[in-house]
Chain A
Amino acid sequence: MSTIEQLSTKRIESGNPIITVWRRLKRIPTAVVAWVIISVMVAMAIASLLGVPLTPYSFDQTSTTLLADPSWQHLMGTDELGRDLFTRVIYGSRLSISIGITTAFVALVIGTIYGATAGYCEGKVDSLLMRGVDIAYSLPDLLVMILVGVLVGRGTQGILFALALVSWMGTARLVRAQFMQLKHEEFIEAARACGQPVFPLICKHFLPNAMGPIIVALTFIVPSAILSESTLSFIGLGLSPPACSWGTLAADGWRSLRTHPHLILFPSLFIFLTVLSFNFLGDGLRDALDPRTRLKK
């Protein structure tokens, strides 16, 4: 058993943490590949937002070649109205990517603050806050989302707001559990015994050590947000056509599984790649953030 002293000093990192993390991250190949893929997706989204023509078609340009299979002319084929699917997938990236990232970020911030408070304070405050989470969990998502749609309005803000509203509870519970567990770890008790003030204590000791499961949870919010967005458009809160996202493309195309599989294959593939990349990047980040990890070459 190590002494209390050793335990509490071991956690303190030296140097600029961001550079350290980056340096560590670079050593994990899957994380690098994931980083590249995400960059490409984000670049695609930005290009589409700025109106850079990556394909010879526009996203709402119809043609008489309905439901064409993939060919050199239409890399991913065309949809029911003869629009180029590749162009639409690129166009769809802007919403899907931003929804994934924003929702995860909001869930992280709200969830962490909420969960940290509950987990750190324990007792009455904790009970009260956790019953709040139970209540928020129990409310029917659909009802909440319809209401948000009416109050906030349609379009991207409405979607983002609605999704953020229903996705922070999981993170909050998780952070709370982590905090409660950590509280009884020796090194934390040691740090508290040494008289560290609350806020730095949380930032330096609790958060880095609670990061693993939190990052995993986040990498789950990304795909679930991307997929829930398709549900939203389904209940009338979604995008106004001809705009689209990967989620709506998948939801519109899946019944063609047996006749025109390209309609479901490509949007799903992009969701899959994005989610996969976020997962591996998340794992990499976790390792890079965690000072205890000894990275093997």
Chain B
Amino acid sequence: MLLLILKRIVWAIPVLFIVATISFGLMRIVPGGPFDEEKSLPPEIIANIKAKYHLDKPIPEQYIIYMSRLVKGDMGVSYKYVNRTVNDILGDAFPVSLQLGLLGLALAIVIGVPLGTIAAVNRGSKLDFLSMLVATVGISIPGFVTGALLILVFGLWLKLAPVALWESFRHMLLPALTLSLSPAAYLARLTRASVLEVMEKDYVRTARSKGLSSSKTIVKHVLRNALVPVLTVLGPLTAIIITGSFVVEYMYAIPGMGRFFITAVSNRDYDLIMATTLVFAVLLVIANTIVDVLYTVLDPRMQVKG
């Protein structure tokens, strides 16, 4: 297992390098630059700005400058937030997203997995139908609408939770709930399908026929195996959730990093785009490694090779 983790770390380096290179390339190909503004600036000023950020140099040279800085751990400066370094910006924003994301993720798992299991166990019943109906609502309504609805109902009408802002634990409730709805629905449906699949397996039937009680079978034999596909999506899902959600942070005015995935691209804030992309890639690699380790724990027959 240690070997697996080690191998993953070795693999991660070229992956991150390629991610950085491709996103660097994409940014320069996409039309529009960081200083294209509504008001055209005189060429002299444009020249000053470009010189300041090395944007006047040929692209290969910019790439080398960027990469050599990156290796030293310096992710550059923001063009939009003048005087702030990218390290600074992410240092402030990432912990916020992480807190919210972990709560959201926990909610999603706590809601999704049991919901799916219940539906599968009671397959074809009203409970199954209802669970899947709820799950469908969860995924077919856009995040901004659920956010607006929750704010309206729980914040304004019932006054059960704060409307928005980021002040205390209470302020995390509605955003975490909004954040968890769609993943919870996804997990519920996936768990249901997977549990159904496993329940038809011979060893489960054998176990049942041998007289193991239903709920024991489920926990001991079914869930353990059924969680493999669920784990597969949990890897990327975790990375997505804890790097923050644009919609949720935007709706609830939360100072997380999710918003940079959209705004940094819109502003062509090159260094910030690179940084968010890399942070996401790193987390993705970590999450996937953990998932792979868990695979082997859940199913010892599977020896995942790095």
Contact = CB atoms under 8 A, between A and B. Distances in A.
Contact of A174 (B149, B233, B273, B280): B233
A7 B202 CA distance: 10
A275 B186 CA distance: 13
B92 interface: no
Contacts of A215: 193
B259 interface: no
Given A147-B26, A174-B229, A279-B132, A135 B236 contact: no
B158 to A, nearest CB: 15
Contact of A268 (B15, B133, B145, B280): B145
Contacts of B40: none
B89 interface: no
B261 interface: yes
B148 A177 contact: no
B70 interface: no
Contacts of A213: 190, 193-194, 197, 229
Interface residue SS majority, chain B: helix
A275 B148 contact: no
Interface residues of B, number: 68
A212 B194 contact: yes
Given A138-B277, A140-B265, A219-B189, A170 B140 contact: no
Contacts of B262: 142
B232 A138 contact: no
A146 B30 contact: yes
B14 A180 contact: no
B96 to A, nearest CB: 20
Contact of B132 (A150, A170, A280): A280
Contacts, number: 167
Contacts of B124: 296
B302 interface: yes
A235 B148 CA distance: 21
Interface residue SS majority, chain A: helix
Interface stretch (B101-109, B159-167, B168-176, B281-289): B281-289
B149 A257 contact: yes
B306 interface: yes
B29 interface: yes
7 contacts: A169-B236, A213-B197, A223-B139, A227-B142, A251-B142, A254-B144, A276-B140
Interface of A: 1-2, 7, 30, 122-123, 126-127, 130-131, 134-135, 137-140, 142-144, 146-147, 150, 169-170, 173-174, 176-178, 180-181, 184, 212-213, 215-217, 219-220, 223-224, 227, 230, 235, 247, 250-251, 254-255, 257-258, 264, 268, 271-272, 274-276, 279-280, 283, 286, 290, 292-293, 296
Interface of B: 7, 11, 14-15, 18-19, 22-23, 26-27, 29-31, 124, 129, 132-133, 135-137, 139-142, 144-145, 148-149, 152, 186, 189-190, 192-194, 196-197, 200, 202, 206, 228-229, 231-233, 235-236, 239, 261-262, 265-266, 273, 276-278, 280-281, 284-285, 288, 295, 299, 301-302, 304-306
In the A-B complex, the 8 residue pairs with the smallest Cβ-Cβ separation, listed nearest first, are A138-B281, A275-B140, A177-B232, A213-B229, A212-B193, A142-B265, A216-B193, A272-B140
